[in-house]
Amino acid sequence: MTGASPWAAVGMGLTAVTLWGGSDFAGGVGARRASALLLVAAGHLVTLILLLLVCMVAGLPLPATHALVLGMLAGFEGALSLALFYRALASGAMGATAAVTGVLTAAVPVGFALATQGLPRATEWAGLAAGAAAIALTAWTSEHGTTARALGMGALAGVGFGVQLVLLKLAAVGGVVWAMTTARAGGLMGVGLALALSAKAGARLPASGFWRMGTVAGVLDATGNGAYMLAVGMGRMEVGAMVASLYPAVTIVLAAGLLKEHLSRRQRVGVGLALAAIALLSG
């Protein structure tokens, strides 16, 4: 698929943006009443069952062992990052936390792509710069309620998400659906381990409505992963990764519209730069 139009890759990246942004919003809202770990566990369990059914009904052949392992590793560390991110969103203003996460989510796969695929074209350089500025501007906000702890958790989650994007790209050589499935299996093991450790430590896990919000967030997240893998399979990895990493804009818009969080002038400029980045990366 590397010969596909840049617009196709960017379009698929935008699909991932929308799905991930909606997933983060659902997870962040759910984590205000239920345990982030329970939310992630519910979403991973439901989507794993659905994906296994798809693989069986479609008769998809098993990929090579290394692809299966990479997918499970991506899911394992990605699930722990997701639980941390939901906790971060619940601990502070969603917009600023999601923006900090987005900056680091983009940085890891872009750096990996530049190291392994060589330098991009001039227009792509400009698009990458505009995209990085767009994500950064959304982080500079006057929102109240965003603590250093929330931003720190968001930063750690961003690094984890970036590593996951690299692993998903590598795992997709065995097929996108199987990569999604093995990632869900690995993720369920990761969150299961975290739940066991929490129970052993005597932690209290609030469980109000975690199945409903966890399932919504999990389905959107898994579908977004699939869209991302298709996007990076159509062209250079850093292009698809940068477009997909603009997802905080969706979370910010939802938080502003539904939770009445303030959308600053800088964030509006960031949205404009995001549109410019999309145009440049599509050229």
73-91 pLDDT, tens digit per residue, is: 999 998 888 788 877 877 7
Q: How far is CA 73 from CA 7, 95, 160, 190, in A?
A: 30, 29, 11, 9
Residue 52, both tokens: 């296994």
pTM: 0.77
Tell me, what's the pLDDT at 210? 85
Residue 50 predicted with pLDDT over 90: yes
What is the Cα–Cα distance from 267 to 253, expressed in whole angstroms?
Answer: 10
- Pick 110 or 182 by higher pLDDT: 182
The lowest-confidence range among 81-85, 152-156, 223-227, 264-268 is 264-268
Residue 106 predicted with pLDDT over 80: no
Residue 216 predicted with pLDDT over 90: yes
Confidence label for 67 from pLDDT (cuts 50, 70 and 90): very high
Residue 66, both tokens: 């290394």
Q: How far is CA 180 from CA 96, 134, 185, 223, 251, in A?
A: 29, 29, 9, 8, 23
The lowest-confidence range among 64-73, 91-100, 120-129 is 91-100
What is the distance of C-alpha 194 from the center of its chain? 20
Whether 251 and 54 have beta carbons less than 8 Å apart is answered as: no
Query: If you average pLDDT over residues 86-110, what whole number do you get?
Result: 74
